[in-house]
Amino acid sequence: MIDMLAGALLQAVAMPQCDVELVVLGVAQDGGVPQVNVQDDPAWADDGLRRRVVSLGVIDRQAGTRYLFEATPDFRTQLHDLNAQADLSGAPDGIFLTHAHIGHYTGLMLLGFESMSAEAAPVYSLPMMANFLRSNGPWDQLVRYENIDLQVMMAEQRVALTPNLGVTAFEVPHRREYAETAGFKIDGPNLSVIFIPDIDRWAEWDTRIEDIVAENEIVYVDATFFDDHELPGRDMSAIPHPRVAETMDLFQDQPAEVRQRIRFIHYNHTNPIRFEDSAETQDVLARGFRIAREGERVCL
């Protein structure tokens, strides 16, 4: 069976290239789609319905560099696709981590000596996340063996990666069992992109999401759940994450030009926007918002 995800990325490669480019490498919540032990998910039988765990890639063709946002359980295929589009090989020139939940950092294991045996791959994160990796096995082995080189970012301080590309981390409220949670601003020569795959609630953040959307051209936001009816038998009020429906309501009175900046990402296997033909997907698009899909490309 033809892998529809690979087909989408191959189609993206055939599109005109730009000097600094972002590509969506994954869109699903930490467990991916299909998720473990969900036996009746149609994605087991249909590769075209599979969704990889949330990740972005950024390529600077002038500098000959590429960067990965999140080291997910799908790290192997995501790095392969990023390298194919950048026409490069080896470890990324930087890996940016938002936080210490399984879908966002566990792919680092493949940089170890049992697999890739990378040489000092730069890994960028806020301080608590870096300390978690440095102080806990098996991740500390990656540090000791110099498979990774921890680059500690300070919130709100821009890191210049190339003359055309910079990244700024900022902290967002989200469960911090082991580390804080970051969002990232990625700025290229022409526009800036925000990446917030996980946050508890917009109201708990000391920054207004309305201001973030107004100040940046593209904003990838947490879309773990569509609404409060998604998990029968569960009290969803006890499960944080802004619902897609809630975020749309928050921005519904904004101009169309503002609404179209929002791209929903990090959707759970239960979220019907994973299906491109679902009524919920059509509702999101009809209301002027967008849904991130694998293979999507943006010239920065």
Segment 24-33, tens digit of pLDDT: 999 999 999 9
Strand 181-187 with 192-196, pairing: antiparallel
The whole-model pTM stands at 0.93
**What's the domain range around 21?**
1-155
**pLDDT tens sequence across 216-269:** 999 999 999 999 888 777 777 778 899 999 999 999 999 999 999 999 999 999
Q: Does an H or E element contain 183, and which?
A: strand 181-187
In the three-class reduction of DSSP (H, G, I as helix; E, B as strand; rest coil), residue 297 is classed as strand
Strand 192-196 with 218-222, pairing: parallel
- In the chain, the number of structural domains is 1
Q: Is residue 149 part of a domain?
A: yes
- Residue 228 has what pLDDT? 85
Nearest CA to 52 out of 39, 68, 64 is that of 68
Q: Which string of DSSP letters, residue by residue, matches 84-127?
A: HHHT--SS-SEEE---SSHHHHGGGGGGSTTTT--SSEEEEE-H
The two tokens of residue 138 are: 């098996």
Q: Is residue 254 part of a domain?
A: no
**Helix, strand, coil shares, percent, the chain, to 5:** 30, 25, 45
Residue written as token pair 């390298």 = 83
- Residue 16 has what pLDDT? 61
Q: Is residue 63 part of a domain?
A: yes
Rounded Cα–Cα distance for residues 139 and 74 (Å): 17
Q: Is residue 40 part of a domain?
A: yes
Q: Is residue 236 part of a domain?
A: no
Q: Looking at beta carbons, which pairs linking 11-16 to residues 24 or more positions away fall under 8 Å?
A: 11/295, 12/85, 12/295, 12/296, 12/297, 13/84, 13/85, 15/297
Q: Is residue 226 part of a domain?
A: no
Q: Is residue 238 part of a domain?
A: no
CATH number at residue 14: 3.60.15.10
Q: Is residue 284 part of a domain?
A: no
**pLDDT tens sequence across 85-95:** 999 999 999 99
